[in-house]
Each structure stands twice: as C-alpha cells, then as structure tokens.
C-alpha cells in the first residue's frame, strides 16, 4: 500500500488527481495539508485523510510515502526539494520548476536518493497519441516533414495565478510546455530551438502568448503556438510526403471523449478511437514507478526545461 499526501488543495487536485488516486488499488490518500485548515477540511473528509496544517508538517509524517504537489509553479522548487529531502516520492504539477537550473537540481537530487520525481504532463498517457505514432511509423503519411501543435485558452480574471509573475505565471510556463512536450513525443528529446517570440502584457507583467520553431536532428521542423488570451485550441498536426494527420482536443482530453484522428491522403479517413482516461493512467504510472523504483519521464523533463529556457532566451533577443 502506497500512502499519499497532498500539498495544497488546488482545483486540479480535488477535481481530477485525488479521485484518480483514490480509485487505484494499492494506494490510499493519507494526509491533506494546507495553510488554511478550513479549505482543506472538506477535502480530507471526502477522501478519509488526516488534516494537516502546514506543508512541512505533512512532509515530516512517517506514514506518507509520496506526495502530490499542485502548488503554483513559483513554489515548486522549494517544496519539491523539501519533499525529496524528506524521503518522499513526488508527483509535481507541470512545470516542475520555472528554470532549467532548478529542474536539473531536483532531478539530480531525486536520482541520488533513489526517489521518483515525475512532472505531471498527463496527455502522453492517453492512448490516442500512441495510435498516431503507430500510423506515422507504418508510413500512413509517408516521410514526416513537419509537425505543428497549439494550446491556448481564453483570458482569465486578472488576479488569476497564471498572470502573477512571482508565482511563475505566463503563457510559456503555463501552456507552452504542452505543444513542446507533444513535439518531443513525436520527434524525440534532441530538439533545438531555431527561433521564438513572446508577447507580453505590460500591465500584468507576464507573457500572454508566444510561438517557437523547433528542429529535430534529422531536419523535421516543429512549430508550436501557445497563449492565455485566445479562443480555446488544443490540437496537433503531422504533415508528411504522402498525407497529413490531424487531431483536436489532444491535451486536456475528457475521459468520456472518443478521439477522432483525421488522415488526409487522396481521400479523408476518420478513425474514431476508444475513450481513455489520461488522469487515471497518469496516477497508475506514477504509482507503478514508485513500486518498481524506476524513473518516469526524467529525460523528457530535463530536455523540456532546456527547450523552455531557450525559447525565453531567443524571444528576449
């Protein structure tokens, strides 16, 4: 039995991850920590967990094997580091940290202590992407030439944490990692950033949109777009010498959604795939890594931190 603790009662935790963990055999939610007990009490009661005041008090508990950290990105480096030093395995919301250096330090710390540190990008655990990758490998669109992906959401209230620089806000940090992670999924981790641009909101003090051009070692180009002030979009497209594959609703896919993979060649073919639960699959993958003592996604997380840093560096030029 793996005992889990929660640091902070973010919406994604109470709405998605905790129910998924509660449903996985061999795991239990042992403790819920918050700086505000009134906020954490209904969460603890709902999942039969102990109520803990303060994050460090939870990390000091010997009955907690692993923790989920859905805190704002600007707080990840401190609290993920504290959790690892307390001997806890960690599932941390994306991005793992707000800098390449901090991400590498935490990954190295986890490895040195034999602990699992997993960045919570859930979409790769949905079966639709493995099917698309199979189609490309089978030659369904010939030789792959270009990849494009976009993830953007409508504007939120100005006091949303996504617009607070001190908490790690901004479009690149919040949504930019998704299309970059998709490029990694299909093209590998050895991507380079050819060019990038970020659009800033001077009143908010953060970037609210951007795009980047990436390139794989074998010359496949990838164009990624992201933003926090857009009509909603969540899609990718792979374009080859003999056809094109496009998929919508790829990053935050509901468990009941049946994905439609469009394959354009001489004619359009639409493949309707089974529904899949990427949240449950992610929870299961984390627990499996903890039980087996294996790393999960470490290389991709390390490479993605470098890509995000290069996007910011090139955009600043």
Return the active site residues: 94
* C-alpha to C-alpha distances, 279 to 125, 251, 286, nearest whole angstrom: 8, 11, 11
Please, which residues have CB within 8 angstroms of residue 1's CB and are 6 or more apart in sequence? 26, 27, 28
For helices 127-137 and 177-187, angle between their N-to-C axes, nearest 10 degrees: 40
Nearest to 85 by CA among 119, 64, 115, 51: 115
Is the peptide bond preceding residue 230 cis, with omega within 30 degrees of 0? no
Q: What are phi and psi of 113, to 5 degrees?
A: -105, 5
Compute the Cα dihedral for 135, 137, 139, 145 and give only its sign: positive
């Amino acid at each position: 039995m793996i005992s889990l603790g929660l640091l902070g009662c973010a919406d994604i935790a109470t709405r998605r991850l905790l129910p998924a963990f509660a449903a996985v055999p061999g795991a239990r939610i042992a403790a819920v920590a918050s700086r505000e007990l009134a906020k954490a009490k209904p969460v603890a009661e709902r999942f039969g967990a102990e109520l803990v005041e303060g994050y460090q008090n939870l990390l000091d508990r010997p009955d907690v094997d692993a923790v989920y950290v859905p805190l704002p990105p600007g707080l990840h480096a401190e609290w993920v580091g504290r959790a690892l030093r307390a001997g806890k395995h960690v599932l941390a919301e994306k991005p793992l940290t707000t800098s390449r250096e901090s991400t590498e330090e935490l990954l190295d710390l986890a490895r040195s202590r034999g602990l699992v540190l997993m960045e919570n990008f859930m979409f790769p655990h949905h079966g639709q992407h493995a099917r698309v990758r199979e189609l490309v490998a089978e030659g369904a669109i010939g030789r792959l030439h270009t990849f494009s992906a976009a993830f953007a959401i409508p504007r939120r209230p100005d006091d949303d944490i996504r617009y607070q620089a001190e908490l790690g806000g901004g479009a690149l940090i919040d949504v930019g990692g998704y299309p970059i992670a998709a490029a990694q999924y299909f093209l590998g981790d050895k991507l380079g950033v050819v060019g990038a641009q970020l659009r800033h909101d001077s009143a908010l003090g953060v970037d609210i949109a951007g795009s980047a051009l990436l390139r794989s070692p074998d010359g496949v180009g990838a164009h990624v777009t992201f933003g926090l002030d857009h009509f909603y979009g969540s899609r990718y497209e792979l374009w080859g010498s003999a056809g094109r594959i496009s998929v919508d609703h790829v990053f935050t896919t509901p468990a009941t959604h049946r994905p439609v993979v469009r394959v354009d060649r001489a004619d359009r073919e639409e493949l309707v795939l089974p529904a899949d639960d990427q949240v449950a699959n992610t929870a299961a993958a984390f627990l499996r890594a903890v039980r087996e003592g294996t790393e999960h996604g470490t290389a991709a997380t390390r490479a993605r931190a470098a890509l995000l840093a290069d996007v910011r560096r090139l955009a600043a030029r």
